[in-house]
Amino acid sequence: MAATLQGNNTWVRGTANSSIFTGVGVLDAIIVGATAAGAITLTDTNNGASTRSVVSILKASIVEGTYTFGPNGTSISQGLSIKLAGASDVTVVWRKG
């Protein structure tokens, strides 16, 4: 049985640099809706400063599917940002706190 993903969902498409949330939170999953045309980079980022740590990089041409970050997700300490290097269609599943 597949896990049920609960929390906030943010849809990002095209080529974009987007802030998903600021502050402390948890990254639960990335849902790739169409084969990625470029790499997808997720960073723990303080947008007020230039502090960022790479959380994950999903390779270009990764296929459609749900990619989870462990049973409890991955902790984010400053805020979550996503960079789409090529035209992509992804949903980020996350929780605050």
Chunk the chain into consecutive blocks of 10 residues (it has 97) and report each block's average pLDDT, rounded to whole numbers. Answer: 70 87 94 91 77 88 92 93 90 93
The string of pLDDT tens digits covering residues 41-58 is 999 987 656 667 999 999
Q: The CATH number of the domain where 15 resides is what?
A: 2.60.120.340
Instruction: Find all residues with CB under 8 Å of 71, minimum gap 6, and list them.
Output: 3
Alpha-carbon distance 59 to 72, whole Å?
Answer: 23
Structure tokens at 66: 């749900």
| 2 found inside a domain | no
Alpha-carbon distance 43 to 86, whole Å?
Answer: 17
Mean confidence (pLDDT) of the chain: 87
Alpha-carbon distance 48 to 62, whole Å?
Answer: 31
Longest dimension (CA), the chain: 42
| 68 found inside a domain | yes
Q: How many domains does the chain have?
A: 1
Domain membership of residue 64 as a residue range = 8-96
How far does CA 57 lie from the centroid of its chain? 9
